[in-house]
Structure 1
Amino acid sequence: MPLKLTFLRLNRTPDLLAFLSILFYLDFAYDLVRTDYIKLIMLYVALFFLFYKLIQLKKHQLTFLAAIAFIFRLLFLFSIPNLSQDFYRFIWDGRMILEGFNPYLYTPESFILKGVFPIYQAQELYHGMGMLNGSHFTNYPPLNQLCFVIAGFFAGKSILGSVIVMRLIIIAADFGTLYFGKKLLEHLKIPISNIFWYLLNPFIIIELTGNLHFEGVMIFFLIWSLYLLQVGKWQFAAFVLALSISIKLIPLLFLPLYFYWFTKQKINTNQIKKSVLKLKIPTLTSIAKLFLFYMIIGFTTILLFLPFYSSEFISNFTKTVVLWFQEFEFNASIYYVAREIGYLFRGYNEIGIIGKMIPGVVLIFVAYTTFFKRNKTIVGLITSMLLVLSFYYFTATTVHPWYIATLLILSVFTNYKFPLIWSLAIVLSYLAYTNSDEHENLWIIAIEYFIVYGFLIWEVFLQKKFGDKQIKYFD
């Protein structure tokens, strides 16, 4: 009898955890106001704990984990995002295209200030997205715009309908990531349950499905591309990678890292003490394959941008991208330290100077990782991607919570777990404006990055010293 009771208790516990998660997600989706910071933190931490325990207890029952991941996402289906206003701009862009306008050529503000309303609910959408968003040109690439158009086409004049359509696209992308992520993990002989550190993570469910950020669609194409590369279909992998770039531009940062993948052939030289010295010398064939890989990506990306092409488009799009380096500041780490040092010496904000330096510093790090980290395997390539993107976010002037999603999926295929810790700590960024003067509380930002950098230092420098080769999350 005691054994039977123990068995029943062990089997009922995951069901209870899943049920509690459902209640908490419903509360998060339909009864949370962003400014209710205590409730936000409590719900998020509770969901993270439940997520951890569910994977710990059910890591071998992948069908159960996939089913509840799908159910948790569906709970948000009819909710309006409560932590982000960006979806109003998505709807605006989609409706603009359906009305025959090029969204890259006009700001919403340019119409509203003239009293012109080019689309249905223009005034409501403009107020929803906010003055900051409405005063800038759109920076969403063409395949992302297609998602907005699909939402506008099927939802008609309904804002909630558009939200539902976009949410279904993001949910479908997440399960595409599950499919190809699972296949890639199998090829790499990594535990398949690792994919649920991404798929079941409340950070992913809330930020992507809940708040409608299309990093999830970009990630789907990125993982699909990496799987295709692993199985030798590099031409198709290049095409799919271009689709990822056409959702979000972030994968452009990874392009140099493919150098060693295509130039990894080895040739034998002289024998020294009965051992063969192997040198890596790129062959003409490998260089040609690398060049063709980049050509496919470039051609596909240009082709997708072509319907929107004009000289104004290039100018507007470039200016908007540059703004992220030279005008916007949010949830930064190293940049904020550099900014404070600049205040001491010059007495005013240094973003104009530091912002221009950051791309150069990042490119130097990318070059170092490209030529001194030999990305000969998919795991090596993904690890380099993780390190490069982490370096970029550590030095960036703006790090919105949903940016971390790409780090989290890449970590699934590596031994690095700091993105998982960051996906918990990132909720602190929502507390940044708790003060009355609406300036970021740098103490809160410092706590967030103290947690992230502390864990990163542990992983990189201290684990081996304490005799741990790998952190065991399930034991």
Structure 2
Amino acid sequence: MPGLANIYKYQKTTIALILTSCILYIWFAYYLERTEGLKLIFLYTALFVLGFQILKTSGFYTSPSLSTSFRILVIASILFRFLFLFAIPNLSQDFYRFIWDGQMLLEGFNPYLNTPDHIIKRETSIPLANELHNGMGVLNASHYSNYPPLNQLCFVIGNLFPGNSILSSVVGMRLIIIAADIGTLYFGKKLLEALKLPPSRIFWYILNPFIIIELTGNLHFESVMIFFLVWSLYLLHSGKWKWAAMAFACSVSVKLIPLIFLPLFFWWFNSNSVSDKNDTNNIKIPAFAGITKLIGFYSIIGVTTLVFFLPFFSMEFVTNYSKTIGLWFGDFEFNASIYYILRAIGYTITGYNEIAVIGKILPVISVLIILGFSFLRKNNSIPKLSKSILLVFTIYLFLSTTVHPWYIATLVMLCIFTNYRYPLVWSLVIALSYLSYLGIGTTDKSENLWIIAFEYIIVFSVFIWELTQKKKDCQFN
């Protein structure tokens, strides 16, 4: 193993880039105000350029056998995350609600049955209740929690971190997110190696400034959901489908999004080419056996998820939770693409915002597309399955009324198992949505649709270009 002197000799450019990135990450975490849009874009873009150069100069991208380069990239990835450890998130206020839900559970309240507005109106022993209530904003405070049980457990664990302050809870939750990313690094690299794909691809996710800033920095638990999803895919590839189902259920119990991927597993169990990965004789599975395993896979996911929800279950919970989830499809609008075009057409025809109608039609279209990918494409390998999940979730986001930046983190992870790179481009230009959110270019702090249009022109252009390329993912089809 080369000593520190040799590491510096051969990796001094990479180390210099890492140190420069550290300075910019500290600047971003501790000295950037949410309203400083131009500074945000400058830092964000600079970190992307530096991240690309770190990967390029390390040598691991071109020579995956270089263990020293791999260690340097891993250390840099973890270091960048720990630089945010004591920073209060500056681009999102959702963390106030995370702390609130964790405190409610510790005090014996059910976050699915009590809104912050209800609790704050009566005497409560929740620490820092007024500060948390004011910080989360009117929208969050007036609705029941929509975060699934394992996410709630993360909130509780975060609140158990020593100290009785907002910062101590932030540190506790951030450590969970960092641990999840380390797990994703481990299983993601192992899965890439098992698929005989370049292991360096894992750093497109782990070193991506978007992932570091949005998940570790802004405390979004997509990192935990993605960890369980990647672990599930690794177990599935290894033939351990029962354990894969349990890991997938954990992913669902952090964020509900993976539920829309379930139909895509149909051909994994029902293709004639599918066999038990633990069977050295590679014996083909009869069709009925595939159906049986598929039902078993879905049953384990369903039962495990229900067990997680069971401590909170009541008819009132079902009513509140379904209404809260429904709000995301019928009431909220942010950084949308196709929906905004349809909304403009609706305004032209009727003079009103037709979100109530459009918000019901677009999910139906998404379901039909998911079913098409499920039954018309044989998703019987991890690359094929990842490609289908990637495209299905992309179309789902294109048709959504609300696309917060952290939603695309799953796309960034999945693309490493395919030859599609548009999620990486999107992870760069998604920062433009913050300019729109700040009302830059408008007089009433509303979204600037020109900025949104510019973002999606870039994303759609790369997406369509990649779709139309001949021989795309040909080695997997």
TM-score by length of 2: 0.91
Is 1:212 aligned with 2:216? Answer: no
Aligned ranges 1:272-421 → 2 under 5 Å: 283-421=287-425
Query: Residue in 1 aligned with 2:281?
Result: none
Q: Which of the numbers 104, 111, 117 marks the counterpart of 1:109?
A: 117
Q: Which amino acid aligns with 1:107?
A: T
User: Shift of the alpha carbon at 1:117?
Assistant: 3.0
Q: Aligned to 1:137, what secondary structure does the other structure show?
A: coil
User: Shift of the alpha carbon at 1:157?
Assistant: 2.1
Query: Residue in 2 aligned with 1:86?
Result: 94
User: Shift of the alpha carbon at 1:153?
Assistant: 2.1
Change in Cα spacing, 1:306 to 1:156, as seen in structure 2 (3 Å) is: farther
Query: Residue in 2 aligned with 1:19?
Result: 19
Distance in 1 separating the partners of 2:194 and 2:273: 23
Q: In the TM superposition, what whole-angstrom CA distance separates every residue of 1:340-372 from its partner, at most 9, and x where no partner exists?
A: 001111110010000011221110000000011
Aligned ranges 1:8-157 → 2 under 5 Å: 11-60=11-60, 61-112=69-120, 114-157=121-164
Q: Aligned to 1:139, what secondary structure does the other structure show?
A: coil
Change in Cα spacing, 1:208 to 1:32, as seen in structure 2 (3 Å) is: same
Query: Residue in 1 aligned with 2:4?
Result: none
Query: Residue in 2 aligned with 1:277?
Result: none
Distance in 2 separating the partners of 1:369 and 1:78: 43
Q: Aligned to 2:299, what secondary structure does the other structure show?
A: helix
User: Shift of the alpha carbon at 1:59?
Assistant: 4.4
Q: Aligned to 1:412, what secondary structure does the other structure show?
A: helix
Distance in 1 separating the partners of 2:21 and 2:117: 41
RMSD, aligned α-carbons: 1.7
Q: Which amino acid aligns with 1:91?
A: I
Distance in 2 separating the partners of 1:376 and 1:95: 44
Q: Which amino acid aligns with 2:128?
A: Q
Distance in 2 separating the partners of 1:228 and 1:53: 33
Contact 1:174–1:220 (8 Å) recurs in 2: yes
Distance in 2 separating the partners of 1:103 and 1:217: 20
Distance in 2 separating the partners of 1:116 and 1:397: 37
Contact 2:11–2:58 (8 Å) recurs in 1: no
Q: Which of the numbers 440, 445, 468 marks the counterpart of 1:438?
A: 445
Q: Aligned to 2:333, what secondary structure does the other structure show?
A: coil
Query: Residue in 1 aligned with 2:279?
Result: none
Distance in 2 separating the partners of 1:314 and 1:410: 32
Q: Which amino acid aligns with 1:19?
A: L
Q: Which amino acid aligns with 2:297?
A: F
Q: Which amino acid aligns with 1:231?
A: S
Q: Which amino acid aligns with 1:110?
A: H
Contact 1:167–1:209 (8 Å) recurs in 2: yes
Q: Which amino acid aligns with 2:376?
A: F
Distance in 2 separating the partners of 1:81 and 1:155: 19
User: Shift of the alpha carbon at 1:133?
Assistant: 0.7
Q: Aligned to 2:417, what secondary structure does the other structure show?
A: coil
Is 1:245 aligned with 2:249? Answer: no
User: Shift of the alpha carbon at 1:469?
Assistant: 6.5
Q: Which amino acid aligns with 2:388?
A: S
User: Shift of the alpha carbon at 1:12?
Assistant: 2.2
Q: Which amino acid aligns with 1:148?
A: F
Moved more, 332-341 or 50-59: 50-59
User: Shift of the alpha carbon at 1:142?
Assistant: 0.1
Q: Which of the numbers 153, 160, 163 marks the counterpart of 2:170?
A: 163
Distance in 2 separating the partners of 1:136 and 1:107: 6
Contact 2:334–2:401 (8 Å) recurs in 1: yes
Distance in 2 separating the partners of 1:439 and 1:232: 50
Distance in 1 separating the partners of 2:285 and 2:221: 40
How many aligned positions are there?
447
Query: Residue in 2 aligned with 1:449?
Result: 456
Q: In the TM superposition, what whole-angstrom CA distance separates every residue of 1:279-322 from its partner, at most 9, and x where no partner exists?
A: x9972111111000000000000000000011111111100100
User: Shift of the alpha carbon at 1:151?
Assistant: 1.4
Contact 1:90–1:148 (8 Å) recurs in 2: yes
Q: What stretches of structure 1 of length at least 5 have no aligned partner?
A: 1-6, 268-279, 471-475
Distance in 1 separating the partners of 2:325 and 2:349: 29
User: Shift of the alpha carbon at 1:406?
Assistant: 0.2
Contact 1:234–1:293 (8 Å) recurs in 2: yes
Q: Which amino acid aligns with 1:128?
A: G
Q: Which of the numbers 194, 197, 201 marks the counterpart of 1:190?
A: 197
User: Shift of the alpha carbon at 1:9?
Assistant: 8.4
Q: Aligned to 1:154, what secondary structure does the other structure show?
A: coil
Distance in 1 separating the partners of 2:160 and 2:85: 18
User: Shift of the alpha carbon at 1:156?
Assistant: 4.8
Change in Cα spacing, 1:53 to 1:105, as seen in structure 2 (3 Å) is: same
Contact 2:113–2:317 (8 Å) recurs in 1: yes
Contact 2:159–2:173 (8 Å) recurs in 1: no
Query: Residue in 1 aligned with 2:277?
Result: none
TM-score by length of 1: 0.92
User: Shift of the alpha carbon at 1:155?
Assistant: 3.7
Q: Which amino acid aligns with 1:55?
A: L
Distance in 2 separating the partners of 1:8 and 1:83: 35
Q: Which of the numbers 235, 239, 255 marks the counterpart of 2:242?
A: 235
Q: Which of the numbers 258, 269, 278 marks the counterpart of 2:265?
A: 258
Distance in 1 separating the partners of 2:213 and 2:261: 26
Distance in 1 separating the partners of 2:207 and 2:198: 15
Moved more, 148-157 or 160-169: 148-157
Q: Which amino acid aligns with 2:246?
A: F
Q: In the TM superposition, what whole-angstrom CA distance separates every residue of 1:75-122 from its partner, at most 9, and x where no partner exists?
A: 00000000000000000000100101111001101122x253341111
Q: Which of the numbers 216, 221, 234 marks the counterpart of 2:228?
A: 221
Q: What stretches of structure 2 of length at least 5 have no aligned partner?
A: 1-6, 61-68, 275-283
Question: Any runs of at least 4 consecutive aligned residues in structure 1 with deviations exceeding 4 A, and if so which?
Answer: 7-10
Q: In the TM superposition, what whole-angstrom CA distance separates every residue of 1:250-287 from its partner, at most 9, and x where no partner exists?
A: 100110000000001259xxxxxxxxxxxx99721111
Change in Cα spacing, 1:240 to 1:469, as seen in structure 2 (3 Å) is: closer
